[in-house]
Structure 1
Amino acid sequence: MRKLICLGFVISLFPAWAQVDSSGLTERRELLLQELFFEALAARATENPKKQIEKLQKALEFNDEIATIHYELSKVYMEEGEKEQALYHGYRAIELESDNIWMLKHYEKTLLSLEMWDDLLVIQQELLEISGESLLYRLRISETQAAMGNYKKAIRELNSIQKDFDEIIPDLAERKKNIWLIANKPKRAEKEMRRLVKVYPDVPEYWGALGNFYRANNNNRKAKEAFLRLLELNPQEPRAHFAIAYIYRNEKNTEGFFYHLREAMKSENVAEKDRIEVLISLIRAGGNLPEIQTYIEEMLQNAESFHPESAGVFVLSGDFYATLGKYEKALLRYQRATTLPDGRKAEVFQQIIGIQLELRKIEEAAKTAKTIVELFPNQNQLLLLAGIAFLENGDDTLANEALLAGFNITFGDLNLKNEFRRLLGEVNHRLKNHSESDAYFEKYLELNPNDEVTLNNFAYYLALRKEKLDQALKMTEKSNNIERNNPTYLDTWAWVLFQKEEYSKALEIIERAIDLGGKNEPEIMEHYGDILRALGKNKEANQAYNKAIKLGGNRESIEPKILP
């Protein structure tokens, strides 16, 4: 039963086969021909065009005079983009069955794809006579005449159609307008549109088309009139507001421009993509001007309201507020974007963690860093920021893992590679992996020998360990030569000298640091006390220690140093 149903379905799709003249074929050859044809149809059902072509070509070897086979071959070749082959077999099909409407329609489609206008016109004339679709083919004949450059004939055909109706048909007027525009006859195109709005004065679309025509022809006055008439009919039409806004922009009428732009952007009918493009253009043009920022903010709020599931809208809002330095607002919008489809992107998380670090939301930044490591293990810049967040939060092991991962996938960007080295030097110092820390710092300074911050830090770390003190002294002296009168750098210099037991020189340097503001730093005051104690100045040392505690220094480590 299933086979019979399938066979009936195939025959119903291709009834022309039943009319094939197989005279002259032996019964055996006829059976083979039928078998090849149905195998071709089966190949079509399984979407195997190559096999279908093969079977149909073999069928033609038995008999080249069967229109249906040529017709099927032409259709397959068209689907495969082999238009010349489709043209040949399409022609053979109508040559054999010149009154077959389906074959003529297919051949028409083939000629149209090849832009063979003269032949196409002949076929359309035949279809006009036999198809029973008079209006359709009169319209197509008009289109073909226009494509051939026979504009007057194309218009004449449309006028002939119009005479069959008692009222103006908008589609015909639109077609005539388009033909006159192609023919570079704008006055005649305008006449068609004017006739249309006269007959149908309450149809907004026709006024919009007229307005667009005038805009395209740089007639802003008439364009504005047409769009304002459209707004009388439909005050909420955003396209009209947009059009008038840009006319006012060209006229340098700022007030009119922003009024109509804001009205347009209040409409829920503005597509998300169009809304975003308008906002991007506006932000680029005047996002730094306070008077325009107010308008932009209002439009962004509308966008967020109309498109609450659009990550793009919230990212754009975040970018706008970040540019203005309104980081809290920016952060909220970036975070909202990550909860939406297409919002969990690397650049969004980069903005989030960057703002969290800027605002000193260190615990939040560390949480974001964990998400970054999970989602973007191959994004070196994000791993760098994640490493910084972990460092700031005291998660030294996580910081080391993130930074090392980023370091190992960074190639070509020498500056970024070296920044990883600097941070890996810091974290390995904290983890007491001193040989690794030193190696990272030394390689970093080899490439950036004048980085006074790293020179200072590395020198201080060596001083704390009482190792490589001569190297530490050279680095701290260099950092102080690069930036003079920095109390932190002077403190490091004094501490290196202290570890080298050069106490008098150390006292001289740290007193300079104190005079430059170091007296308000607990660590500097504690070091001052240590140097004074080493010089036997116990009373002054006690005073320095007490001052360090008062400033917030570690009481447990400082108090034991105070002598009675």
Structure 2
Amino acid sequence: MSKQFINGIRIRHWAMIASLAGFCFLTMPVNAQNAAPEKTSITNIDSDAVENLFFSALKEKTVDNNAGAADIFNKILVLDPQNDAALYELANIKKKENKFTEAQPLLEKAVTIKPDNEWYWSSLADIYEKANQIDKLENVFTQLIRLNPDKVDYYYDQGNAYFIQGRYDEALKLYDQVEQITGPNDDLIIARQKIYLKEGKLDKAAVGLEQMIASNPNQIKYYLLLAEIYTSNNATDKAFKVLSQAKAIEPNNPMIHLGLADIYRSKKDINSSFAELKIAFANPDLNIDQKVRIMMGYFPKFSEPNAKNGALASALELSKIIVDTHPNEAKGYALYGDLLVQSEKYPEAKDAYSKSVALNGQIYETREQLVRLELGSNDIEGVIRDGESALSFFPNQGWMNYYVGSAWLQKKDYQKALSYLKSAVAVEFQDKDLLSLTFSQMGDCYHAMQDNKNSDDSYEKSLSYSPDNKYTLNNYAYYLSLRGEQLDKAAAMAKHANELEVNNASFEDTYAWILFKQKNYKDAKVWMEKAQTDNKNKSAVQTEHYGDILFYLGDADGAVQYWKKAKEYGATSPVLDRKINEKKYIE
């Protein structure tokens, strides 16, 4: 325990035996090689029965039949209530089942019967620690020290029990005993420091490390520990002096530069702090995981004003250093990709994610980020290639199935699109946004396949998960209007889509067209003019629709003029030619 216990009591789980047979001879109450404990209430016949039962219990335990083993150990205790080995074994089974309150009295009885068994006391200490019965640990460690006075871990354990109880002087006396056994060492320094710092005795906490530095002037770890004590107690000037001494010895040690970065940051010298960080990050000896943890501290700052030229720019530069320093680490490229996305450098982010996936394809999140970017940049081939590759590793990911289905929809391969979209809804049951989007895409597929019933059903399911899915509202409304069906419902959906997103030319065009179908030509003209104003590109469809509206408002010449413009913008419908030639609206 010792070092681990310093950071919070944690009792060791001792290796109990070198072999099963050896253990049996050590613990069994009756055997040929060791003298049996004195027993006055058990007959020879009962002793034989106990011995046979004990072997049977151990056999069940070796095949992980803990319930069967526990049952046999209980039978032994009926025959021989003082059988300490059975008490101990049964207690260990209870501990494995996390039944610590049941294990405790068994072990307490075992140590009463056989007070010189180190394993029993050690197991009991584990129970008391889990139950946070710190007051009872003192006697346990006293007994363990009595049984094994050269085992320093027990002194540390008892010292930390004292520390938790605030009995600092008694803990320090124990550490003095340890020093008599081991001499000065790092564990003792840390243990004593913990007490001195708790008591606010900074100078005393520093003394041990200063002595170690004097004895070992080239051991950088002592400088770092001393600087950390000073820094954590706001003695930054002293910390800076110590780190400067260390830097003179090992100028390339990355931990020294991290320590200096912390000090400069505490002094609000951001430029110097960042310069030290860059030196540390450029050192391959500094573990990449530690670098990533440091980077995580930047993320909360990205929402601050001017973050793009401040925290985000710094984080991006550091992440670039990481990938340059660790070119074979997938996590470095994934982090770099995330920061490039934050910086809106999407092509570079795609490249970073691609490198990360190539190095380690087992991280789903990185694959999804890559496919998202590909879909956002309309790289449909990339979505299909990388999305299908991701699904070969992670077939039950709903979003990935949706992305690939969407890509096949854009390629107008509706059967393939439907297969992926159906997989998405088959594996996802809770994400309403995903379900709504997926059923909306399925509606588009079925419409393209002229399967109106399944198309309408899919749109209805989409809206059942998200009544405000504006794309579903728009598309469903438009396709109903094309069929001249449920125009009032279509108008209501189209209007709501425009309420959800204003100045969307496509949505405005849909609403205008439905109003046209309802013969509300005046309002249709208003909405179509909005669509033409908000459309940054010249739309042949909207232009033709505007001509249709003008015709029914009595402006046939104006209608022909816009029909001709629609043809110029790329419309190729034979109906459009008839409209122009015959100067009238044709359905």
Task: Give TM-score, length-normalised by structure 1.
Answer: 0.74
Which residue number corresponds to residue 64 of structure 1? 81
CA contact (8 A) 2:57 2:70 kept: yes
Letter in 1 for 2:571: E
Corresponding residue of 2:469? none
1:356 aligns with 2:374: yes
Counterpart position of 1:507: 557
Identify the residue that residue 548 of structure 2 maps to in structure 1. Answer: 496
CA contact (8 A) 1:418 1:444 kept: no
Bigger shift: 138-147 or 257-266? 138-147
1:235-246 alignment, distance < 5 Å: 235-246=251-262
Encode CA deviations 1:180-207: one digit per residue, 9 max, x unaligned: 2344433422333333333333221111
Q: Which residue of 1 aligns with 2:506?
A: 453
State the partner residue of 2:69: 52
CA contact (8 A) 1:36 1:55 kept: yes
The structure with higher relative contact order (CA 8 Å, sep 6+) is 2
1:339 equivalent in structure 2: 358
Deviation of the 1:47 alpha carbon: 2.8
How far has the Cα of 1:310 moved from its partner? Answer: 4.6
Conservation of the 8 A alpha-carbon contact between 1:494 and 1:507 = no
Q: Write out aligned runs for 1:305-320 (5 A).
A: 305-308=324-327, 310-320=329-339
Q: CA deviation at 1:162?
A: 3.6
Separation of aligned partners in 2, 1:50 and 1:335 = 51
Change (3 A) 1:530 1:435: farther
The 5 A counterparts of 1:170-185 are 170-185=186-201
Which amino acid in 2 is paired with 1:195?
Q
* 8 Å contact from structure 2 (residues 231, 239) kept in 1: yes
Q: CA deviation at 1:212?
A: 1.2
* Distance of 2:22 and 2:67 partners within structure 1: 23
1:479 aligns with 2:527: yes
Matched, 1:328 2:347: yes
Question: Contact 1:173/1:193 (CA < 8 Å) preserved in 2?
Answer: yes
Q: Please give the alpha-carbon distance, in whole angstroms, between the structure 2 residues aligned to 1:149 and 1:415.
A: 54
1:496 maps to amino acid? D
Deviation, structure 1 residue 518: 6.7
Q: Which runs of 5+ in 2 are unaligned?
A: 1-18, 460-475, 481-488, 499-504
CA contact under 8 A between 2:547 and 2:562: conserved in structure 1?
Answer: no
Query: Are the structure 2 counterparts of residues 22 and 380 from structure 1 closer, same or farther at C-alpha, using a change threshold of 3 Å?
Result: closer
Tell me how far 1:262 sits from its aligned partner: 0.7
Structure 1 stretches of 5 or more lacking a match? 1-5, 463-467, 537-564
Q: Deviations over 1:430-449 (max 9, x none)?
A: 54557877993336654232
Q: Give distance in 2, aligned partners of 1:171 and 1:276.
A: 29
The amino acid across from 1:493 in the alignment is H
Q: In the TM superposition, what is the alpha-carbon distance from 1:256 to its structure 2 partner?
A: 0.7
Task: Report deviation, 1:259.
Answer: 0.8
The separation in 2 between residues aligned to 1:409 and 1:114, in whole angstroms, is 42
> Does 1:521 pair with 2:553?
no
Cα offset for 1:258? 0.9
**2:128–2:134 CA contact under 8 A, matched in 1:** yes
Is 1:14 aligned with 2:12? no
Q: Identity across aligned pairs (percent)? A: 18
Q: What's the CA shift string for 1:210-240, capped at 9, x where partnerless?
A: 1111121122222222233333333333333
CA distance in 2, matches of 1:477, 1:204: 80
The equivalent residue for 2:212 is: 196
Shift in Å at residue 330 of structure 1? 1.4
Instruction: In structure 1, give the amino acid aligned to 2:545.
Output: W
Which amino acid in 1 is paired with 2:204?
A: R
Amino acid at match of 2:175: L
Offset at 1:527? 8.9
Of the three residues 318, 322, 325, the one matched with 1:303 is: 322
Tell which structure's C-alpha radius of gyration is larger. Answer: 1
**Equivalent residue in structure 1 for 2:169, among 152, 175, 181:** 152
TM-aligned CA distance change 1:31 to 1:525, over 3 Å? closer
Q: Which structure 2 residues correspond to residues 17-28 of structure 1 after superposition, within 5 A?
A: 17-18=30-31, 19-20=35-36, 21-23=38-40, 25-28=42-45
Report Cα offsets for 1:489-528 as digits up to 9, x if no partner.
Answer: 6522255369x8x7983431453688xx879634399998
1:207-246 mapped onto 2 (5 Å cutoff): 207-246=223-262
Q: What does the per-residue CA deviation read over 1:444-491, in whole Å, with 9 as the maximum and x for residues that have no partner? A: 65423265525636988x9xxxxx966696895353143355663652
The corresponding residue for 1:289 is 308
Q: Structure 1, residues 379-404: CA drift from partner, whole Å, max 9, x if none?
A: 66555554553344343554465567
**1:97–1:428 Cα change, 3 Å:** closer
Query: Which residue is 1:534 aligned to?
Result: 582
Query: Over residues 159-190 of structure 1, what are the superposed CA-to-partner deviations in whole Å (9 max), with x where a residue is unaligned?
Result: 3554677x744433332222223444334223
Distance 1:307 1:136 in 2: 39
1:430-469 alignment to 2 at 5 Å? 430-431=448-449, 440=476, 441-442=479-480, 446-449=492-495, 451=498, 452-454=505-507, 456=509
Give the TM-score normalised by the residue count of structure 2: 0.71
1:237-280 superposed Cα distances (whole Å, 9 cap, x missing partner): 33332232122122221221111111121122333433223234
Alignment CA distance shift 1:473-1:526 (3 Å)? farther
Matched-pair contact (CA < 8 Å) for 2:312–2:339: no
Which amino acid is 2:346 matched to?
Answer: Y
Amino acid at match of 1:220: T
